[in-house]
């Protein structure tokens, strides 16, 4: 699922909280400036939380989970690209078989459910890489696989100007991916500059308001 099944002028802002030691999009930080920007604009958003990030940031996790503006979704247990053959993506080793795919989804699903009081409805794997078997396993487990159309921050490698330009490309129904775990990068600055123009065109929504669960 890469877009909302809605013809209305809505946009889904999604932010991954990856955690852990890998290069690229990983990191256990909390982008407090970005959260302030979203809250200042009352912008609804969905946070894909990896279990490693949640364990490293229990108070920040609780703060997100308690905010009615925000929805929590599953970003995996160990942030592994989902494959039944061990394919890697962006330098991160993938799951090697269906059992590891199951563990990657179910481990964090149980962890989040214990804290949220319900299982997450949406899943995005580490690096947003999947093979077809892995997608089928995930949906069989009752979590819908969420991709994206607009790459907001390219794993936090974009400058603020590039992020503004990406947000300007968002159209009605698009899912936007960015990251909230690397405050040392430009994501907050890009959203502070680009969000007002986006909000003049589109209304941000959480995934649960506009997608059917699996």
Residues near Zn ion (CB under 5 A) are 16, 18, 25, 126
Q: Minimum Å distance from CB 200 to Zn ion?
A: 29
CA gap 187, 193 in Å, rounded:
10
Q: Between 25 and 46, name the residue whose CB sits nearer to Zn ion.
A: 25
Q: Between 34 and 202, name the residue whose CB sits nearer to Zn ion.
A: 34
Strand partners, 92: 89
Q: Minimum Å distance from CB 25 to Zn ion?
A: 5
Q: Minimum Å distance from CB 131 to Zn ion?
A: 17
Q: Between 50 and 206, name the residue whose CB sits nearer to Zn ion.
A: 50
What 3-state class would DSSP assign to 3? strand
Q: Minimum Å distance from CB 140 to Zn ion?
A: 23
CA gap 55, 172 in Å, rounded:
35
Per-position b or e across 12-31, b if 16+ CB within 10 A of its CB: bbbbbbbbbebebbbbbbbb
Q: Minimum Å distance from CB 47 to Zn ion?
A: 11
**DSSP secondary structure string for all residues of 135-187:** HHHHHHTT-EE---SEESSTTTTS-HHHHHHHHHT--TTBEEEEESS-TTSSH
Q: Between 23 and 58, name the residue whose CB sits nearer to Zn ion.
A: 23
Strand partners, 17: 49
Helix intervals (H) in the chain: 32-40, 51-56, 58-66, 98-116, 132-140, 160-168, 187-201, 207-210
Which residue number places its CB atom closest to Zn ion? 18
- Per the listing, tokens 């494959």 go with 83
Q: Minimum Å distance from CB 16 to Zn ion?
A: 4
Q: Between 126 and 194, name the residue whose CB sits nearer to Zn ion.
A: 126
Q: Between 18 and 170, name the residue whose CB sits nearer to Zn ion.
A: 18
- Give the largest CA-CA distance in the chain: 45
């Amino acid at each position: 699922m890469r877009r909302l099944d809605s013809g209305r002028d809505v946009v889904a802002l999604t932010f991954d909280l990856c955690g852990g030691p890998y290069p690229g999009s990983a990191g256990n930080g909390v982008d407090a400036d970005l959260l302030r920007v979203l809250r200042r604009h009352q912008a609804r958003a969905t946070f894909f939380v990896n279990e490693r990030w949640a364990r490293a940031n229990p108070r920040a996790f609780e703060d997100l989970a308690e905010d009615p503006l925000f929805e929590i979704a599953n970003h995996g247990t160990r942030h592994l690209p989902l494959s039944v053959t061990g394919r890697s993506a962006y330098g991160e080793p993938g799951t090697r078989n269906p059992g590891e795919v199951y563990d990657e989804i179910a481990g964090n699903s149980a962890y989040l459910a214990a804290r949220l009081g319900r299982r997450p409805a949406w899943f995005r794997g580490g690096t947003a890489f999947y093979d077809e078997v892995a997608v089928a396993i995930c949906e069989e487990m009752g979590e819908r696989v969420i991709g994206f159309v607009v790459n907001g921050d390219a794993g936090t490698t974009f400058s603020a100007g590039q992020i503004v330009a990406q947000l300007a490309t968002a159209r009605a129904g698009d899912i936007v991916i960015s990251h909230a775990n690397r405050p040392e990068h430009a994501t907050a600055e890009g959203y502070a500059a680009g969000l007002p123009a986006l909000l003049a065109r589109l209304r941000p929504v959480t995934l649960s308001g506009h997608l059917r669960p699996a």
